[in-house]
Every structure is written in C-alpha cells, then in structure tokens.
Structure 1
Amino acid sequence: MAAAATRAGSAAAAASGAAGLTAAVAGVRHPHVFVRVAQLRAREDVTLLGFFENDREIAVRFERETGLRRFDTLDALLAQQPDLLVSEALDTEMPALALAAAPHVRSLLLEKPGAPTLAAMDRLVAGLAAHPVDAHVAYQLHYSPSIARMRELLASGALGQITLARFNAGCPIGCGDELWQSVPGDLGGVMFTEGCHMLQLIVDALGVPQEVAGMIERLPAGTVVRSDVVKRDLFDDPAPDDESGVGRLMYEDVGVALLRWPTLVGTLDVTAWEATDWVHNWYLEFQGTNGTMKVRPVPPTLDLTLRTAAAGLAAGTHPTQEWESPAGHELTLVPDPAYERQLDAVLHRLRSGAEPSQASLHQAHDVIRVLDAIYRSSAERRTLALPAAAATSAAPAASAAPAAPAAPAAASAPPAAALPSQAPQQETA
C-alpha cells in the first residue's frame, strides 16, 4: 500500500508539473544500457538515481565506467520509488525483475524481447496485468522515421492490395557467437534475438499472421571467419580479428519463416553471418497491385514506386527518402532519433499522467507467440496456425509518441481491404 501511495503521489506531481521525473536501471547486461544511461542523463527534467546489477563483478565495473550510483540490492533501488525503471537484464532474468519492480514504479522499459520463452512471457504478461504500471518493451526501431513513413503509406492504400512482403534481418559475421545471441535458456539465437525486432515491425504493420512455417538451421561446420564487429565483453569495443565459424554457434546459423495472412504471404529470413555492419542489410519490402516499397529502419531510407498516381503521390519511381542517422559498425549502440523518440514517448506518458497501458507488452507477447510457432514449426516440420491474439497488435498505445515535431507518426493499420478476416485451416499452435 505504501508503494502504491507513493507512486500515486509521484504521478500527481508529475502531471501537475510540480516535480521532475526520476529513473533507475536494474540489470546492466545488454549493451543498449549505455545508450539508455546516456539518454536519461541528457534529460534536464530526469534524475537518474542509480542502478542495480546482480552480478557483483559487472556491477562494480559498471559503476567505475559510468560513475552511476550502485545499489547493493534490488530492494534498495526500488525503495527510491523511481518513476521509470529501465531494465537491460538478460532475457532469462527479465520477467522476475520486472515483476519485482512493478509495485514500486510507474513505468517499465524492458529490453526486447522481454522474456526467454513463450511460457515465461505468458507469466510476465499475466503478472504485470495486476499492477497499474506502464509496460514498454524496448523495440526502438518502431520509432525510426522511415518506419513511421512506411506506416503512413500502408495506411494510405497507395500501394493497392499488398500480395507479397519480404523481410530481412540478422547480425554481422561472428556476432551470433556473442553472449546476447547465446543466452542459455532462450528460445533460440539470432532468429529470436534479432528476428524479434523485425517481427515487431511486421506484427505492428500487418497484424499476427494466421499461419507460420519455419525452418531454423544449424549449418554444418564451415567457413572460419575473422570479424571486427564482435563484442566479447559488455565494456569492450569490438576486437579486430575475432574468430568464429559457421556451424559452431550455440543456436542457429540461419532461419526462415513463411508467414500467411488472409490476402498476402510474407517471408522472413535471418542470418548470423551478414557481411555488413549491424542492421545495414535489414529491410521490409511490400509488393502491391499499384506499387512497391522497400524500407530500411537504420540507416533510415525508403524507396517507393507507384504504377499510377495515388494518395496524392505521383506515378513513377520516387527519389529515395533518407533521414539523419549516425554512421559506424554499431548503429544500434548510438542514441539516434529512434531511441530519442522512444524515450520521448515513455516520458511523455509519465509527465501527462496518462492512464497506465501495457499495449506495448501485449504486442511483444504476440511477437514471442509468432517466434515460438516458428521454432516449433521447424522442429515438427509442419505448418502451424496461430489463434487470434487476445490483445490487438496494432501501434502500441503505451508507446505512442507525444504530439511534437520530433515524434514519429502514430502507427496505423493497413487498409481493411488488405487484411479481411479468414479462419485458419491448419492445426492451431
């Protein structure tokens, strides 16, 4: 009761503008933690109280590297009653940590995918439903300006009926061997930890597919590669000439999924052996009866060709749209506009005193439902059908950006004609 009362008082103060916001970090195992800390420290109206990490050796070094106050226990950190709790814990640690924090905070921002398995995500969603807390899963690519423009074009109907979609993701050579793609107890490797990013964008744009057929493969031992992108340690820069090999990962080398909706088919392919830097090869492509669109989340670009004029746009191939983006090996470890817009949205909800929402968490739940079906389909060598989601997978209301020039456009569903309801015929997953 005391925690709830304190939280309610904090919410009222924030809504009235009487006080700034407070934030804390619990779990510092994922490299995105450095982006989150830098972002929060840069906000003049946010006080970053400190952090907790269960691994003492990592905690001591993180304190030394960042100068951030270290709390010896999670209880001690939560006793500070932060408005926002950011967690960059390992997937296997996330559900218990989030559930422990929920009674003491107003908002959670959890590293994706949010849980190591579908069963763990089921428990997390059920447990957090009992608490009046915002629950965001940190899919920052949702806030890429190219993805915002993609949603607008899909909603406009300019492409006509979408009949085919292609999606590509993965990680650079050797990075499938990093800790974050090799967590014992996770559902899988690169399809799970990187494919989840792409599936969030897919589910947000098109909804949960009705049927899934997966192929998750560990390849035979093959090429030994040297990489200058791999991070073997949370604190170290990528080492030159780091050695790893095809077929030697803890989990899969490659994964492919066929995805079916009522009026279109999609393919998702993921590899742990991209020859480019992080996310440079990722794309979403839509083939419609009146046009095609290819989108890269980071660096954000969009290519559009229309057969006839539509939605106020001229026929023909349009110039590539490009947005500002950092450069380098590790684009996802830099506070870019997508990260900033995501944090804007999270903080806006706290400042405005909005009613708690867990729509982002529910969508992340749908993402893991699809991933679970992909892995099971592969293991069982058969197509699986997915039941309709209990919660709508559309633009996550909990993460909707504030009405400000820097915020992305609100996500919109594709035209209703593109996705009529149709009962799946395959065995239900």
Structure 2
Amino acid sequence: MDVRKISFTFENETDKIKNDVASLKIAFLGTRHPHVMYRFAILEKMGGFEFSGFFEEDTEIAKGLSERLPQLPRFDTPEGLLNTNPDIVMIHSLDPDVPRWARFAINHPAPFRGLFLEKPGAAIPEDFYKLAEEIQQKRPGLAVELGYELHYSESLQFARKVIHEGALGDITTARFHGGCPSGAGMDLWQSIPEDLGGIMQTEGCHTLENVLDLFGAPERVVSSIRKLPQRPPHPVVGWIPDIFTGTVGSGQFGVGSLLYEDVCSGIMEYPDKTIVLDMTAWEPTEWCNEWAIDVYGTNGSLHVIPDYPVAKLYLREGRGDFPAGETKMTTEHPHGTSNIPSCYRKQLETMFARVRDSKPPADGCCDLMTNVGILKVIDAFYKSAESRQWVDV
C-alpha cells in the first residue's frame, strides 16, 4: 500500500499529538528506501514536529527529494545535519549502508535520544550484531526502533492479548504466511547484491517479527529457500521502481526471474510446539492482504491477517476477556479497509514515547534486541537451506 496515494487523516488525535511531540526535532540521515516517503507523509499528517532536514549521498536522489519536499532542508554533509542537534535520527538507507550511517550517528557528539533504522537493519546479520553492541556501549539508554510497522497492526494487538491471556489453552502449532505482490520481488530493495537473499530476508523479517513477538525465538529451524524454474512473464500486481514513483501497476515479470528466491518454507521447533512459515514473491493481491497467522490450541484457534486487518477467534470455553464461541475483532475502520497509516503512526508514537519516557511500552516494541533475534532466525534459515540440515538458533 502506498500511503502517498490514499486519503487519510489523524484528526481525532491532532491536539494530543502536537502537545506530546512539539519539542521533538527529527533528522533524516540517508533516504534511499521508499519508506522514507511514507514516514514523512505520516509525520506531516501527525504534525507538531520540527524537521532538521536530510542528508543523502546520492546526488540525484537528494535533488529529487529537495524538489518534492521543499519543507525538508537539504544538507551537503552529514556532519552539518547532525550539528543541528536533532532529538531523533531516522536512517532509511539500503541494507548495506544502514550500519555505516548508524555508526556515524552514534559517533557524532549530537545528544540525540532516538534512532530509527529501516529494517532489516543490515545486509549481513553479523554486521547488525556488532552494531547493536556498539550502540549499547556508546549510547546506553538510546531508544532504537526498527521499521517493523506491522507489529502495531490492530490485528497483532488482538493476537497478543489472546495469546498472553492463555485463551487458546496449550498451543501445539501455528502457521505464518508472508511475501510480496507479484512483481514486487523485482524492487531494488528486494534485489540488493550484498544481501543474504530476497523475500526471506526483506519481507520474512516482518513475519518473523510477528513470530518472535507472539512466541519468542525457536530452538532450531530447517528450511527450503528456492528459485523456481522460469515461467513466462505475466502482468504484475505492483512494484516500486524507485523511491519517487511509488507503486506501479504496469509491467510483466515471470516466476524464476528474480535475483534471489521465489519461495521459502521452514519449520521452527520449540520445546512445546512447532511453527511453520512460508513465503512467496508472487502473491496475487496487494501488500499484506494474503499474509496470515493461524494458531491452534487445545481450547481454540485464532486466525489473523495484519492488513486489511482481520482477526477471528474460536474458543471451546471462555477464558480471560474472551467468551466461548466465535469472536470477530472490531476494526478501527470499516471491514475491508486498509489501516497501514495507523500502523506507521502508532510505531512513531511509540518511539516518541520511548524518547520522552526512557522506557519501552507495556505492549512491546521493535527495539534493538528484537532485531538481533529476528536476524539470528533469518541467518539460521539461510544456513539450513544451504546445508539442508537443521540449524540451532
């Protein structure tokens, strides 16, 4: 979903937002990932911030961003940007460059209190592990947030409550599906030569955030990550050729033509349950509409789609706040309406609260160590696929 091409407002919360964040100054250090445009659109709708400006080393992208966002001052050097003493530094670079700019930021004397990193945070997991150690050593207490906005979906909030209250009884298995629309696997951001791979890394990180959020890390995994035989081109659902054009619905690509994998599947073993995951780069519908979480317990089952948000619960007997029988989650907007802007907003509000209050929210967040856990599982998936053996996490 391209939030720049839809109409949305946060009118009911405008006064609250402005009162809470009026003193925060935000700097954009690196702007090559398309979500920088989405997050800037969300921040503008929220209102009440001061923008230090941005720095981007690619001169063509920097020029294009200046033309499209004149309200965001352009700086010629990263030092000049951070010399404005922002409260929050947001890094939207390509995967290989995120650690480099994060290190630049934490080594600069600017006393910022928040650091936002686009996911998955590095091209190679080991790079992020080292970065996490450096951040903790050099900037203890820094509020770090990774770009897993779907953590803040109303469907995931419902799922957390169901599972944390033990409503399902003894959970024995769960299923997680993710991926991207047909064509989107051709995006530059899914096709970076330095990365471990494609959709398992770039989109599987979102799905694994959901897994670890609900159930913690598995003990070991076994996986298959495959490029499929080439098939004739077919019309795409949508893809993003660059950060400015947004989602394009024209063009044709075929299965087997991606730089990296077409599909991935895996089994995650826990002491008391088994969870399966599958990903495809060729979903027939828009972003997230096919993503699904299915959880099975001795007292009930739970079925969740992050967006368009859906959650349906069935219980044999009522437990916690949930009655026996079927419960359908009440959505913030009419059923069948995307609520991605709300996910972005809630994530940013969570980070701003962490910057102000220096403590994580009760409902969890996507912090530094969350991403370390996600990347350890991603690393195990790729190692298992290469060795064709189980790999401990």
| TM-score, normalisation: structure 1 | 0.81
- Find out whether 1:370 has 2:374 as its counterpart: no
Pick from 280, 284, 300 the counterpart of residue 271 of structure 1.
280
- Contact persistence 1:40–1:48 (CA under 8 A): no
Alignment deviations for residues 16-52 of structure 1 (CA, whole Å, 9 cap, x no partner): x997110011111111111211233344432011111
| Residue 230 (structure 1) shift | 1.2
Whether the 8 Å CA contact 2:42–2:341 is kept in 1: the answer is: no
* 2:143–2:358 CA contact under 8 A, matched in 1: no
**Paired letter, 2:30:** G
Task: Measure, in 2, the Cα distance between the counterparts of 1:234 and 1:250.
Answer: 20
How far residue 136 of structure 1 moved from its aligned partner, in angstroms, is: 1.1
Partner in structure 2 of residue 39 of structure 1: 42
Cα offset, 1:366, TM superposition: 0.7
* Superposed counterparts of 1:10-409, under 5 Å: 20-67=23-70, 68-102=72-106, 103=108, 104=110, 105-130=112-137, 131-132=139-140, 133-319=142-328, 321-324=330-333, 336-352=341-357, 360-386=367-393
- Whether the aligned pair in 1 keeps the contact of 2:240 and 2:248 (CA below 8 Å) is yes
1:318 Cα deviation from its structure 2 partner: 2.4
Q: What SS does the corresponding residue of 2:367 show, helix, strand or coil?
A: helix
Tell me: CA distance 1:325–1:98, structure 2 relative to 1, closer, same or farther (3 Å).
farther
Structure 1: 5+ residue stretches without partners: 1-16, 387-429
Cα 1:358–1:124 change in 2 (3 A) is: farther
Q: CA deviation at 1:149?
A: 1.2
Matched position secondary structure for 1:86: strand
By how many angstroms is 1:97 displaced? 0.4
Q: CA deviation at 1:163?
A: 0.2
The whole-number CA distance in structure 2 between the counterparts of 1:352 and 1:261 is 35
Corresponding residue SS for 2:302: strand
Q: Show CA shifts across 1:264-303 (max 9, x none).
A: 0011100000001111001111000010001111111101
Which 10-residue stretch deviates more, 53-62 or 41-50?
41-50
Distance 1:61 1:312, change over 3 A: closer
Superimposed CA distance per residue, residues 320-373 of structure 1 (whole angstroms, 9 cap, x where no aligned partner): 543328978xx6xx8611111111111122233559x99711110110000000
**Cα distance, 1:157–1:121 mapped onto 2, change above 3 Å:** same
Report deviation, 1:63. Answer: 0.8
- Match of 2:272, SS? coil
CA contact (8 A) 1:300 1:323 kept: no
| Structure 1 residues 75 and 297: alpha-carbon distance in aligned structure 2, compared to 1, 3 A threshold | same
* Contact 1:254-1:270 at 8 Å conserved across structures: yes
- How many correspondences in the alignment? 367
For the Cα contact (< 8 Å) 2:151–2:366, is it kept in 1? no
Q: Deviations over 1:87-108 (max 9, x none)?
A: 1110110001011112432110
Tell me, yes or no, if the aligned pair for 1:325 and 1:337 is still in contact at 8 Å. no
Secondary structure at the aligned position of 2:150 is classed as helix
SS at match of 2:241: coil
Letter in 2 for 1:40: L
Distance 1:114 1:325 in 2: 34
Over the residues paired in the alignment, what is the CA RMSD in angstroms? 2.3
Q: Which amino acid aligns with 1:22?
A: K
* CA distance in 1 between partners of 2:21 and 2:97 (Å): 35
Q: In the TM superposition, what is the alpha-carbon distance from 1:310 to its structure 2 partner?
A: 2.0
Query: Would the alpha carbon gap of residues 323 and 223 (structure 1) be closer, same or farther in structure 2, given more than 3 Å must change?
Result: farther
Q: Which amino acid aligns with 2:43?
A: L
**Contact 1:299-1:325 at 8 Å conserved across structures:** no
> Between the two proteins, what is the percent identity of the paired residues?
36
Find the residue that maps to 2:189 and give its secondary structure: helix
Distance 1:118 1:216 in 2: 17
User: Quick one: distance in 2 between partners of 1:305 and 1:55?
Assistant: 52
Q: CA deviation at 1:313?
A: 2.7
Tell me how far 1:59 sits from its aligned partner: 0.6
In 2: Cα distance, 1:358 partner to 1:231 partner = 28
